[in-house]
Amino acid sequence: MFYEQRMTVPDSPAALRAEYEDDLATIVDQYGPAAVAADTDLDEDTLEALAAGDSPDLTLEEAAEIQSLAEGEPDPETIVTMALEHLLLGMSTAVLDVEALESYIDIDLEAKEIQQKIEGRAPMSFEEFVHVQYVIADGAP
């Protein structure tokens, strides 16, 4: 699950996102796009695209809404909180600050933006989350 602490990652952020999207697609397949749409803020077209193997634009919160539908999962707010806390913990473990993240990340985010997103003061896309998590886990000892 994407909100757990990562110490290893696949070869690229794209591969990490694909891993997480497979998990989310399994949940959508299990319940059906219409039922997931009824229980989340996502539309059925986005969920059908996810189930078909596409990479739709999702926010971290939307991914958490889908994940929370799986058996035994916490509520979406808890998932987001845990995901962000694990990023902070990972930064400590990898001895990275937001300036280092900015220099290693493959997307256009400034250090201040990264800090605001990790602290939950600014919205974070799922793509941004995956890239930040990838850099942190890849830099962990």
Domain range summary for the chain, segments of one domain joined by +? 13-73, 77-139
The rounded distance, in Å, linking the Cα atoms of 37 and 44 is 5
Collect all residues with Cβ–Cβ distance below 8 Å to 134 and sequence separation of at least 6.
9, 12, 13, 16
Residue 46 has pLDDT above 90, yes or no: yes
Residue 73 has pLDDT above 60, yes or no: yes
Task: Please give the pLDDT value at position 25.
Answer: 97
**pTM: predicted TM-score of the whole model, two decimal places:** 0.94
The rounded distance, in Å, linking the Cα atoms of 26 and 3 is 16
Long-range contacts of 51-57 (CB under 8 A, 24+ apart): 51/25, 53/21, 53/25, 55/17, 55/18, 55/21, 57/125, 57/126, 57/127
Band of pLDDT at residue 141, cut at 50, 70 and 90: low
The rounded distance, in Å, linking the Cα atoms of 139 and 56 is 27
Task: Please give the pLDDT value at position 88.
Answer: 95
The rounded distance, in Å, linking the Cα atoms of 16 and 19 is 5
Band of pLDDT at residue 139, cut at 50, 70 and 90: confident
Residue 109 has pLDDT above 70, yes or no: yes
Q: Please state the length of the chain.
A: 141
Residue 140 has pLDDT above 90, yes or no: no
